[in-house]
Amino acid sequence: MHSTLSPSSRLLGVASAAVLLVVLAGCGRSIPSKPGTPLPPPGGGTGTLHVQAEISGSTAPAGGYVTAFTAVVEDALGAPVSGATVRMSTPDGQVLLMEAPGVVGTYSFSGSGYTPGIYSLDVISGNDEVLGAWVVAPNTHTIVSPAPGDTVTASSDVVVDWDRIDPTQEVIVETLDYQASMPDDPGRAVIPGAANPPRNDQRVTVTRANRATVNGAQQGSEIGACFITTVEPVIVL
């Protein structure tokens, strides 16, 4: 039985800064963020590994961006694969994901900065491999409304607007009391009043994601990329 990343970790990624060996230099497919960028070949492999991989960019609390990479690797029987070489080619160069201490078969990396574009994954374990699995990491976005410190009316609908360049395949809009997923990227969502109780610490998060099937891997293998932005606090009275 193959494990998968939980809904939260699939979209938010897992950062493990303590095991970094490299410094970052700087789910289907969508159009690359820069028109005219050539698409890479579809990738391939031995068909003997199950891979769940995620690239997750977000705004950092102190300003700027941070990117986290995670890959869960299993063999054809669903057993975690330890000691694999897991590397990600990014628009800024190549990074090496390290096996998380105490979590066999889970590899991670995190670093400052975020660059949209094509990310490609290689996983090698002895004679088993996945090569060139790729996904397009979305452009950054900004939540326009509500803004930090805004006051909204409890039990009333709240309109959430965000600016983005290229649409993604999926958007998740969530608060401390609500979560909804949309299979497109309209730039607007409405939080229903029934999910908007009074509180002075509300936060609104918009996650935009693309996802792709990993060719040359076991069925169900995926690679995803997302960008996450949060505004807080929002006062609900």
Each residue's pLDDT tens digit, 137-159: 999 999 999 999 999 999 999 99
Tell me, what's the pLDDT at 2?
Answer: 61
Q: Kindly state the DSSP code that residue 148 receives in the 8-state scheme.
A: T
DSSP states of 44-77 as a string?
EE-S-EEEEEEEEEEE-TTSSEEEEEEEEEEETT
Tell me, what's the pLDDT at 37?
Answer: 59
Tell me, what's the pLDDT at 34?
Answer: 46
pLDDT of residue 136 exceeding 80: yes
Tell me, what's the pLDDT at 63?
Answer: 86
pLDDT tens-digit readout, 16-29: 333 333 323 223 33
pLDDT of residue 60 exceeding 60: yes
Tell me, what's the pLDDT at 36?
Answer: 52
Q: Taking residues 50-79, report their average pLDDT.
A: 95
Q: Taking residues 99-124, report their average pLDDT.
A: 96
pLDDT of residue 45 exceeding 80: yes
Tell me, what's the pLDDT at 61?
Answer: 81
pLDDT of residue 192 exceeding 70: yes
Model confidence band, residue 221 (pLDDT cutoffs 50, 70, 90):
very high
What tokens does 68 get? 């986290």
Query: What kind and span of H or E run contains 134?
Result: strand 128-137
Query: What kind and span of H or E run contains 85?
Result: strand 85-90
Angle (CA) 120 226 108, round 5°: 60
Compute the distance between CA of residue 182 and CA of residue 187 in angstroms, rounded to an integer.
11
Tell me, what's the pLDDT at 226?
Answer: 98
Lowest average pLDDT, out of 32-36, 79-83, 179-183, goes to 32-36
Tell me, what's the pLDDT at 67?
Answer: 97
Residue 225 and residue 136 in contact, taking contact as beta carbons nearer than 8 Å: yes
Mean pLDDT of the chain: 87
Calculate what percentage of the chain has a pLDDT beyond 90: 78
Q: Taking residues 122-126, report their average pLDDT.
A: 98
Tell me, what's the pLDDT at 74?
Answer: 98
Task: Check: pTM over 0.75? Answer yes or no.
Answer: yes
Compute the distance between CA of residue 60 and CA of residue 217 in angstroms, rounded to an integer.
33
pLDDT tens-digit readout, 91-111: 999 999 999 898 999 999 999
